[in-house]
Structure 1
Amino acid sequence: MNQKALFIIFGGTGDLAYRKLYPALFNLYEKGYLKEDFAVIGTARRPWSNDHYHEVVMSAIEDAGRDSGRTNDDLPRKFASHFYYQSHNVDDVDHYVALRKLADELDEKYDLQGNRIFYLAMAPRFFGTIAGHLKDQALLTKGNGFNRLIIEKPFGRDYPSAKELNDSISGSFKEEQIFRIDHYLGKEPIQSIAGLRFGNALFNSLWNKEHIDNIQITLSESLGVEERAGYYETAGAMRDMVQNHIMQIVSLLTMERPDVFDSEHLRDKKIEALENIQMYTKEEAKKYFIRGQYGADEANTQLGYRDEEGTDNQSTVETFVAGKLITHNPSLDGVPVYIRTGKRLTKKSTQINIVFKNDDQNIFAKDASEKLKTNVLTMHIEPDQGFTLEFNTKTGNQGYNLSPVHLRYRKTATEKAQIPDAYEGLIRDALMGNKTNFAHWHEVSQAWKIMDVVREAWDEEEPAFPNYASGSMGPEAAMQLLADDGRKWVFNPRS
């Protein structure tokens, strides 16, 4: 379905726009979600011309592999002709007056009917200033057209700063007009969680405290901070990965079944799920949350975090977090959710493990103390995509010896290639006004409240960093976290 709209991208010369936004918009154009009745205004401080801007956009498409090597193809050039550039200082009122004039001209030229999407691909400290000027200088259209604001994380550094940020934009835009990007929510395997849970009678009937022993979420990266050292020194793994991506996954895994699957009902259930995560005291947070920072590997061929270019050689920034959350949503009340994420770990993998309770009585064993192997459902998010169900079955010709087997489904390379990029899907949703895969303010704020207690607890103690070697699966304390509960991590590539 085609949708008319004017996109105004603040930060149009930046890395995010080049690597993600322009290729995503081109994909939508190529597939017909955008046709000839759309326009894009890119703004930034650089004094670019429209012609130079067109070349940059076409280069972004080429670098993303979207032109299939056809640099003279007509389609990218036709697409780029819809882009207009304006040099812009976000603090200068006169620049917003000029921006409004150009926006009105393009609205008339392309018959856009007043539909506007404002994409703030800039540092969050500018959000309030831009939103205020958009309202004060009448860039928000009235009548039948829509005004939608897309903003990127990080949404603050803690709850107070996140609230201040939210307050700064809510004076100009209503909550239903604000689309908070969390690119993990744009990943097709993450969106498939609800389908797996509520679209299959088997799992729907088993997804409760009577049958699930624990849930494990692993976001493991094999690379270090690379060129993001400057950002990481101000963020760390907690703010970069846990408060946003992981907590969104937790809400999808622990929420109650919505009566209707739409953005409003899903939002309410996700908020409810986060509100039902147990709030820890600082002492509990110290017990149930582990932080780490990578050092050199065992062969001393990889640098430790403190030796990376751009980091403080005495840095106390965490590159690893593991924790235990407890949900009190009715159907999963008391079920622990173990989470971990880290850099320079053994293997890159994002996966979710649903560990089912074991039968207390193994009728097939000669020794009554012998337990059945645990049934585990694994959702593979990346780099693999698909599912694995581990269950027991009879093996061999004699007797009733049971062994675990795996029922596997993996998307093929062809299938994965057909899945829209996360940004493509999220921009299309914003075009259609579909907020299903965006974060609501109440989700963001509750996640911050949960994690702020952990951060405050950590700030009371000096960490003994580095405390795990590059290529390992993190600090030994992360393994002990589960061992203390009589459990272990399902994903352990070093075992």
Structure 2
Amino acid sequence: MASTPRPNPLRDPQDRRLPRIAGPSSLVLFGVTGDLSRKKVMPAIYDLANRGLLPPGFSLVGFARRDWEDQDFAQIVYDAVKANARTPFREEVWRQLSEGFRFVSGNFDDDEAFDTLRRTMHELEEVRGTGGNTAFYLAIPPSFFGVVVDQLKEHGLAEQAADADGVQPWRRVVVEKPFGHDLESARELNAVLDGVFPPESVFRIDHYLGKETVQNILAMRFANNMFEPIWNANYVDHVQITMAEDIGIGGRAGYYDGIGAARDVIQNHLLQLMALVAMEEPTSFDAESLRLEKQKVLSSVVLPSRLDITTARGQYSPGWQGGEKVIGFLEEEGIRRTSRTETFAAITLHVDTRRWAGVPFYLRTGKRLGRRVTEVAVVFKRAPHLPFNATSTEELTQNALVIRVQPDEGLTMRFGSKVPGTAMEIRDVNMDFAYGGSFTEASAEAYERLILDVLLGDPPLFPRHEEVELSWKILDPILEHWARKGKPEAYPSGTWGPESADKMLAREGRTWRRP
């Protein structure tokens, strides 16, 4: 008997050909003056409306200390949309969306402001038909999470009684990374959130998990029989996961100094990517099944015994980037001249399972590197027998499958092929798949997908507190080791990091890919 096909969680269950559309709802945005709100959240909301994925009565409430009226807030959103929206500006879409804009002025500890917020939400329920369904987006530093969440609870905003028909509006909270700065602080933060909102109503945003290419890791692995049989230690030599940036810290000195590359990127983005690459096939693609398999991977991670030779960290020094002379990290405005914060981090991890026994996972991230790129490279072992002489395969390297997350999203396969001619000469060639060249539909920006998932209550791409705490358990010993070592190693801007990172792989006869 034929099995019933599994539902696709990315589509409306009533018609899988149609995209999912959010129901009646509103979003309260704390931190409306920050870069995140202006460059990502506000444009994503407009793009969702422009694509017809928000209900007509959707409403956006801004909360900040500014002495603004509703129209002032609307102008801020307008400027953000004009500068950063992905889809074309349409006056009729903007007019309908902006009718639902409201602004509440006040500090996070201002009781009167939260009373005003409660009245505003009630007004939107009556006038705009939001149904009382509300997502609270905390685009603010983690140090303020506790204050805001407590205020939401104190003023009855975290939950609401059912109406006359027995329908209870939903209330959800969205938090941005970093989820703490170590295991202890992550547990404290999780306790604050879970003390007010149930776990299924807490959405921890990792925007990398909203990218099409990241989701395609699952599709590539489990929808194609050509990959899964060789996705194990019998064939894979090692895995490299890289997130490189060619820019410095810019205006983020206040946030970045004391945080560093490992906390900023490895603890969340790269460990999540590793979990997706290494996980076993889930029973389905619902949130709980995906989360369970990722947690198994993270709980199976083993650190090498010699952290001094299996990790590396560095700070960018003055150098050349894109043909221009650039300053070093310690010369950046707002950075302490004695700062020990790393701008480059590389670590070696092992996943202690039968599938991955003996396969090292190399994770690296850094600023002011050779170019901007995020990729996952699965590097395969050499063929057990090569019936060619050394000169025939002089330039031949190992087969590799490279998943490009950004930019130029896609996938590259590297393999050996005969060079045309009479001699048996083998050379590396690439077979390339690019999203832009294969699909006419442009990929949605990650924040579009994630905000829509929040409004739909669909959490497959959001890590729960168990994953966050497991990630800190992996990273904490490395951070403690680095804290005892002193200053990070300097590397010139525009290069690919400190020498210690190259030595880290060279000791095992390997080299980093040059994307």
TM-score by length of 2: 0.90
Indicate the SS of the match to 1:412.
helix
The aligned runs of 1:358-377 (5 Å cut-off) are 358-365=382-389, 373-377=397-401
Q: Which runs of 5+ in 2 are unaligned?
A: 1-20, 163-167
Are positions 1:74 and 2:98 aligned together? no
Which of 325, 330, 337 pairs up with 1:306? 330
Q: Deviations over 1:44-78 (max 9, x none)?
A: 111110111112211211111457466xx232132
Q: Secondary structure at the match of 1:79?
A: helix
Map Cα deviations across residues 220-242 of structure 1 (whole Å, 9 max, x no partner).
11111121122211211111111
CA contact (8 A) 1:61 1:76 kept: no
Q: Which residue of 2 aligns with 1:27?
A: 47
Give the structure 2 partner of residue 142 of structure 1.
161
Give the aligned residue type for 2:312.
I
Distance 1:334 1:133 in 2: 50
Counterpart position of 2:481: 457
In the comparison of the two structures, how many residue pairs are matched?
A: 487
Tell me if the contact between 2:49 and 2:93 (Cα under 8 Å) persists in the aligned partners.
Answer: no
Cα pair distance change 1:105/1:369, threshold 3 Å: closer
Q: Give the drift of 1:278.
A: 0.5
Deviation digits for residues 319-374 of structure 1 (CA, Å, limit 9, x no counterpart): 10111111113322221101111111111111111101112211233789989631
* Residue aligned with 1:363, SS: coil
Distance in structure 2 (CA, Å) of the matches to 1:303 and 1:323: 26
2:148 is the counterpart of 1:130: yes
For 2:438 and 2:298, the matched residues in 1 are separated by 36
Q: How far 1:113 moved relative to its partner?
A: 2.2
Q: Which runs of 5+ in 1 are unaligned?
A: none
Distance across 2 between alignment mates of 1:396 and 1:102: 72
How many Å apart are 1:376 and its aligned residue? 0.6
Q: Distance in 2 between matches of 1:237 and 1:178?
A: 25
Match of 2:66 in 1: 46
Aligned CA distance change for structure 1 residues 135 and 482 (closer, same or farther; 3 Å): same
- Provide the residue aligned with 1:193 in structure 2: 217
Distance in 1 (alpha carbons) for counterparts of 2:338 and 2:440:
42
Task: State the distance in 1 between where 2:437 and 2:412 align.
Answer: 18
The answer to whether the Cα contact below 8 Å between 1:380 and 1:386 also exists between their aligned partners in 2 is yes
Q: Distance in 2 between matches of 1:111 and 1:69?
A: 25
Quick one: which of 270, 273, 290 aligns to 2:294?
270
- The change in CA–CA distance for 1:416 and 1:334 in structure 2 (over 3 A counts) is farther
Does 2:367 correspond to 1:347?
A: no
3-state SS in 2 of match to 1:333: coil
Give the match for residue 6 of structure 1: 26
Tell me: CA distance 1:15–1:338, structure 2 relative to 1, closer, same or farther (3 Å): same
Equivalent residue in structure 1 for 2:79, among 41, 59, 62: 59
Cα distance between partner residues in 1 of 2:399 and 2:438: 30
Q: CA deviation at 1:397?
A: 3.0
CA drift at 1:437: 1.0
1:217/1:416 Cα in 2 relative to 1: closer, same or farther (>3 Å)?
farther
Deviation at 1:417, TM superposition (A): 7.4
Residue 141 of structure 1 aligns with an amino acid whose one-letter code is Q
Deviations along 1:436-463, one digit per CA (max 9) or x if unpaired, are: 1111111111111111100101111212
CA distance in 1 between partners of 2:505 and 2:471 (Å): 23
Rounded Cα–Cα distance in structure 2 between residues aligned with 1:426 and 1:67:
17
Q: CA deviation at 1:303?
A: 1.0
The residue number in structure 2 matching 1:291 is 313
Between the aligned partners of 1:414 and 1:15, the Cα distance in structure 2 is 33
Deviates most, 141-150 or 337-346: 141-150
Supply the RMSD in Å over aligned alpha carbons: 2.2
Percent identity at matched positions? 37
CA change 1:470–1:319 in 2 (3 A) is same
Q: Distance between the aligned counterparts of 2:395 and 2:88, measured in 1?
A: 55
1:188 CA displacement:
1.2
